Amino acid sequence: MSDMKVVEDLTQSEYKWGFVTNIEAESAPKGLNEDIVRFISMKKEEPEWMLEWRLKAFREWKKLPEPDWAKVKFNKIDYHDVVYYSAPKVKPTLESMDEVDPELRETFEKLGIPLDEQKLLAGVAVDAVFDSVSVTTTFKETLKEKGIIFCSISEAIKEYPDLVKKYIGSVVPPKDNYFSALNSAVFSDGSFVYIPKGVRCPMELSTYFRINAQETGQFERTLIVADDDSYVSYLEGCTAPMRDENQLHAAVVELVTHDNAEIKYSTVQNWYPGDKDGQGGIFNFVTKRGMCEGVNSKISWTQVETGSAVTWKYPSCILKGDNSIGEFYSIAVTNNYQQADTGTKMVHLGKNTRSTIISKGISAGRSDNSYRGLVKIGKNATNARNFSQCDSMLMGDRCGAHTFPYIEVQNQTGQVEHEATTSKVGEDQIFYLNQRGIETEDAVNMIVNGFCKEVFNELPMEFAVEAQKLLAVSLEGSVG
């Protein structure tokens, strides 16, 4: 079969974005103890309360067991063999793009983020996190006029301590799970967004993360708060350079929406997945959770997951306010030896709360792709409504696709629908397209794009294009 050639070419294609930038990093020594936590806090020039908070989290972390329930297998991580802090040596404070280190700028350009152009063309404010420390923040002035705060979390800790104190850990408490405790103790940087009452953020806020220095764990902490009647769309995307050592990535993202507010959070995740033999790759253990605190509020998660060797990620919504809405749209693609265990939790607590889950899993090569989700209708969540659809597509006979939904209903007025299917790309569909002169490779691409369309539609324009490209690179032609 000629398709086999295509399959081999594409499934064996190496990670395209593999390159390393040499910037002398000022790193903490390997290992984790209270002194390291203090070191990080000191480096970040944090106030006393933040250090206390970190230390408390660290003590909780020591007590917690490492979770083993996810359907992923990897060598045990030695948490004392990880560097928990590294920063580019010079931390520039910048007014204009010219002040940015040229080498850094080059890296951004390779990543497809021409900062200077982006400012003009895309109308997107970029808070670029380069290996744990914010290097530059654009569009700050424009946002400031509206009263929107968009800065690195370390800056926010210093500038807006009251806001940070009020919200940090309110959605994901440090002791929530093993990785959130770890993150709370050692988080290096991340973004902070606050949208004041009645403000509709005029542009998409976006942060590009990039892991750089070797053997550095990346521990971002993102906190987004949308006050009454506000709206914000936030984009997060990342690629990472090629490595042999496994890199640990344990982020925490917290979202809070007050009355009538809405947050739309989109992610394209393309961490280095390891080579075709399963060597290397990022371990991605993320805790993302949104709290619909107010009435009529809405949180929408959209994610395209193509990277990482191991993914462990469940963006969730707690629908506390009456009439609040939670949404989760996801595409997870695994190839070679990748393992993904991802899904969502929708916890309905308020009345008339609604949630939608659309999850598309595509597995190829020898990968394992699991959807794991929880829909919970609490006792007081009258007239709650959920619709879930989890479709899996298998490409190749050595991969696995799994669905583990948990549904817990404690209110008779709740209405829950869950549906899941597993299938492969139909031979008849390919045949049909072949007949019309479309090459197999393109045909598969079309079918996969059709399969994922519902999720692509939810992505903001810029991201949708990038996501489709990523998907094509990740598995185009994996079907024979």
Please give the residue ranges that form the binding site for other proteins (CB under 8 A): 69, 377, 379, 392, 394-424
Q: Which is nearer to other proteins, 335 or 403 (CB)?
A: 403
Please report, for the chain, how many H helices and E strands are present, in that order: 12, 24
Rounded to a whole number of angstroms, the minimum distance from the CB of residue 408 to other proteins is 5
Rounded to a whole number of angstroms, the minimum distance from the CB of residue 286 to other proteins is 22
Q: Which is nearer to other proteins, 199 or 416 (CB)?
A: 416
Rounded to a whole number of angstroms, the minimum distance from the CB of residue 370 to other proteins is 8
Rounded to a whole number of angstroms, the minimum distance from the CB of residue 281 to other proteins is 21
Q: Which is nearer to other proteins, 247 or 478 (CB)?
A: 478
SS3 376: strand
Rounded to a whole number of angstroms, the minimum distance from the CB of residue 441 to other proteins is 18
Element spanning 469, H or E = helix 461-475
Q: How far is CA 151 from CA 79, 136, 143, 157, 388, in A?
A: 29, 10, 10, 10, 35
Distance CA 253, CA 261 (A): 18
Enter the tokens of residue 282: 């990022």
Element spanning 386, H or E = strand 385-395
C-alpha dihedral (92, 266, 257, 404), degrees to nearest 10: -130
Distance CA 270, CA 474 (A): 10
Rounded to a whole number of angstroms, the minimum distance from the CB of residue 324 to other proteins is 20
Rounded to a whole number of angstroms, the minimum distance from the CB of residue 443 to other proteins is 17
Q: Which is nearer to other proteins, 279 or 422 (CB)?
A: 422
Rounded to a whole number of angstroms, the minimum distance from the CB of residue 413 to other proteins is 6
Rounded to a whole number of angstroms, the minimum distance from the CB of residue 180 to other proteins is 20
Q: Which is nearer to other proteins, 12 or 410 (CB)?
A: 410
Q: Which is nearer to other proteins, 2 or 412 (CB)?
A: 412
Q: How far is CA 89 from CA 39, 45, 136, 217, 219, in A?
A: 15, 15, 14, 17, 18
Q: Which residues pair with 25 in a beta bridge?
A: 88
Q: Which is nearer to other proteins, 249 or 385 (CB)?
A: 385
Rounded to a whole number of angstroms, the minimum distance from the CB of residue 23 to other proteins is 44
| Concatenated DSSP letters of 402-439 | EEEEEEEE--TT-EEEEEEEEEE--HHHHHHHHHTT--
Q: Which is nearer to other proteins, 108 or 371 (CB)?
A: 371
Rounded to a whole number of angstroms, the minimum distance from the CB of residue 71 to other proteins is 8
Residues 81-112 as b or e (16 or more Cβ within 10 Å = b): ebbbbbbbeeeeeeeeeeebbeebbebbeebe
Q: Which is nearer to other proteins, 45 or 419 (CB)?
A: 419
Rounded to a whole number of angstroms, the minimum distance from the CB of residue 374 to other proteins is 10
**Which long-range contacts (C-beta less than 8 Å, at least 24 apart) are formed by 89-95?**
89/23, 89/24, 89/25, 89/26, 91/133, 91/135, 92/135, 92/136, 94/135, 94/136
| Concatenated DSSP letters of 48-64 | HHHHHHHHHHHHHHHHS
Distance CA 328, CA 12 (A): 31
SS3 263: strand
Q: What does the DSSP 8-state code read for residue 479?
A: -
Q: Which is nearer to other proteins, 33 or 413 (CB)?
A: 413
Q: Which is nearer to other proteins, 64 or 97 (CB)?
A: 64
Q: Which is nearer to other proteins, 313 or 366 (CB)?
A: 366
| Concatenated DSSP letters of 276-321 | TTS-S-EEEEEEEEEEE-STT-EEEEEEEE---SEEEE--EEEE-S
Residues 6+ apart with CB under 8 A from 256: 167, 170, 171, 224, 225, 226, 290, 291, 293
